[in-house]
Amino acid sequence: MTNPVNGASTLRVACVQTCATPDITENIQRTLALIRETVADGVQLACLPEYFSGLTTDGARINPVAYPEEKHPALQTLRDEAIASGVWILLGSLGVLSSDGRVLNRSYLIDGSGNIAARYDKIHMFDVDLGEGKTYQESATIAPGNQAVLAETPWGGLGLSICYDLRFAGLYRTLAQGGARILAVPAAFTKLTGEAHWHVLNRARAIENGCFVIAPCQYGTLDGGAQCFGHSLIIDPWGKVLADGGTSEGIVVADLDLAEIDKARGRIPALTHDREFTLSNHVEVAQ
């Protein structure tokens, strides 16, 4: 069975798992080496984590390496790599300086000809107090986006998101009902929250939307002391984990049978069962 939209029936995908340093040149070279491993393994879509090109933390502040889009060395280098290899590359996210001086947490999808197929600015800001002295204030340094993005690919619609977005089920519902068949969740998920929530949330997004989920995540300790969870995941539309990156640098690869999307949605057609409802504040009073 083939995807009725474009004829593709399978997709070999990889998650690239790294631990970013403040040195963008080092990060790019390590990432390139891992992407080339995926190319040698026949991968068609290689997916990178959030802020793979450089990230530090300073207490509650999140500080990505940032450049204007047209001058970002990671963007140009990976566009060149896509041209050379013919592989599509999801740049989980880069720090991008906007014209007004703010930093955007921006994901890029690069096609196999090196073109920018889609851009997505992270919508939801990680402003949390986790206890144990672990406080994060993403909005102190990052400006949020306000537009959901669905990219067209040879394998069907790809819904873009980044890290903390994972906790907002409505975003993925909108993407799936808009045509997404695969959901991307690049992240630098914290170790504390990852241990509790990473697997279950990614599996839930796959199950409730009948989509494959591809979730590359940073691992290890960042400059500044914050810890990332790792465990990059590839999950099928029934919620089965096809690949788990563990807690070290490397790649994980899975072959996606795209017919499984329609199979899962046919068994449980929840995407067509949404009903409008109202919230009542009525309280029964005992007589």
- Which listed residue (15, 19, 81, 122) is catalytic? 122
Question: Among 92, 235, 78, which Cα is nearest to 161's?
Answer: 92
* 163 labelled catalytic: yes
- Which listed residue (15, 19, 47, 163) is catalytic? 163
Q: Dump the DSSP string for 58-99.
A: ETTEEEE-EEEGGG-HHHHHHHHHHHHH--EEEEEEEEEE-T
Neighbouring C-beta atoms of residue 28, cutoff 10 Å: 18
Instruction: Answer yes or no: are the C-beta atoms of 264 and 97 closer than 8 Å.
Output: no
The set of long-range contacts for 249-252, using a CB threshold of 8 Å and a minimum separation of 24, is: 249/17, 249/18, 249/19, 249/30, 249/34, 249/219, 250/17, 250/34, 251/14, 251/15, 251/16, 251/17, 251/34, 251/37, 251/38, 251/41, 252/14, 252/15, 252/17
- Look up residue 262 and give its two tokens: 């329609």
* 191 labelled catalytic: no
* 195 labelled catalytic: no
Catalytic positions? 50, 122, 163
